[in-house]
Copies of this chain bind each other. A is one copy, B any other.
């Protein structure tokens, strides 16, 4: 029982029975074996399974070394990437903003993100923000041809050259890309940039424990070894525990049963805003893994109690098509509440409580209310805000997602549908070689069908 993540399905139990859980767990154990044996669909992308134990010390030392250099020369670092080359790093940085290594005011650079949209307004603000700052860039792209990232990187690189000159600009860029091929690989080789390899057997959304996440984390002063250690502990638990005590499998099975019983939306909720981007990362992981062949649970997220005052009414009494997974983590800092006996706001009964205690009671009260409204609620517990717990949470969700995908009968490691919009977009942008598609699209737009 060395794993760190815990699932409690108490408040979902009236939506499935013990027999269904047992049957599901047996099935999940078979699928887990297929995953571990690398015999399932998409097994060429199962390299993430061993990331927590495979990373050589030399790689970690080099990441830490490059990070230290970036910290030295920069007050701001821009991480340029999209999807799996964006969300994992951002999730970890925002979740861990409260840990001592990161929150200490010891001159750590600000970390900003770019290359994850085509919004000119967002990029304009970023460029304004960089004016006068000693900035550096981490660019992350397997191919180098993803438009959002390539365009932003081109503009940022031009700005680096303008500000620091061609030679010095090169020392302010690290590229994380394919080890042998691709536009970004070739550019980095020709210009002599520092690079890290994107492992070929790890897909984007499973890549946060590669340099894709680890380098930004190290730049932010976070302990990447503790993070991998947490993931390794979770690995031991999630791959090694018998089905009856395997919480990752249990999560996969509970989701599957709830989906089978007609729930087609999973609302991932939390009571701490630091989990916001963990929710965004989770949405990519599950949505992109499951959402194919007309299948999959729609992944949504909400922040409570904030969104109890927006989505709360719907969750309580709307269409009964959703279940809720609440992620609980203790806040990294507390605030005491002090109130005079005769305070005119009537809050004297809360005197001496902490905000965390109130938030706890709000969470339990919500759990019961939503359960009573007919919403199955799963509870996931992350033990604390720490690098170790973040690593564990990542691994836990990845295993549950992969096993759940196999149970659903899909390949949880591909994403063929992401190409569709790019295909049209490149044609509209008149990328060389797309002339035929472009003519077809323009005629469709004129016709309207």
- Chain A residues within 8 Å of B, Cβ to Cβ: 10-11, 13-14, 82-84, 86-87, 98, 116-124, 127, 144-145, 147-148, 150-151, 153-155, 158, 183-184, 186-187, 190-191, 204-205, 264-265, 271-274, 280, 283-284, 287-288, 290-300, 303-322, 331-335, 337-339, 343-347, 349-350, 353-356, 358-359, 361-362, 364-366, 368-370, 372-373, 415-418, 420-432, 441, 444-445, 448-449
Contact = CB atoms under 8 A, between A and B. Distances in A.
Contacts of A293: 317
Contact of A314 (B82, B118, B298, B370): B298
B121 A358 contact: no
Contact of A124 (B117, B333, B423): B333
Contact of A287 (B304, B311, B346): B311
A101 to B, nearest CB: 16
Contact of A290 (B87, B119, B318, B353): B318
Copies of this chain, count: 2
**Most chain-B CB neighbours within 10 Å: which of A271, A300, A432?**
A300
B332 A319 contact: no
B355 A424 contact: no
Nearest to A312: B418
The 6 closest A-B pairs by CB, nearest first: A291-B314, A291-B318, A83-B309, A365-B424, A316-B417, A284-B310
5 contacts: A13-B449, A117-B271, A265-B298, A291-B311, A298-B321
B117 A306 contact: yes
A331 B119 CA distance: 7
A266 to B, nearest CB: 11
A321 B274 CA distance: 30
Contacts of A359: 117-120
A284 B318 CA distance: 13
A294 to B, nearest CB: 6
B273 A122 contact: yes
B361 A429 contact: yes
Contact of A344 (B119, B190, B347, B428): B190
B310 A287 contact: yes
A313 B294 contact: no
Given A120-B334, A154-B347, A428-B365, A287 B306 contact: no
A148 B445 CA distance: 49
A314 B416 CA distance: 10
**Most chain-B CB neighbours within 10 Å: which of A295, A350, A362, A421?**
A421
Contacts of A271: 117-119
Given A355-B123, A424-B364, A448-B10, A345 B150 contact: yes
A448 B315 CA distance: 21
A296 B322 CA distance: 12
A186 B264 CA distance: 46
A306 to B, nearest CB: 5
Nearest to A8: B448
Contact of A310 (B83, B312, B331): B83
A138 B318 CA distance: 33
Contacts of A370: 420-421
Contacts of A294: 317-320
B154 A424 contact: no
B421 A369 contact: yes
Contacts of A124: 333-335
A317 B116 contact: no
B153 A345 contact: yes
Given A116-B306, A283-B310, A418-B312, A444 B186 contact: no
Given A145-B346, A154-B339, A356 B120 contact: yes
Contact of A372 (B272, B372, B420, B425): B420
Given A284-B310, A296-B314, A373 B117 contact: no
Contacts of A291: 311, 313-319
B365 A422 contact: yes
A317 B345 contact: no
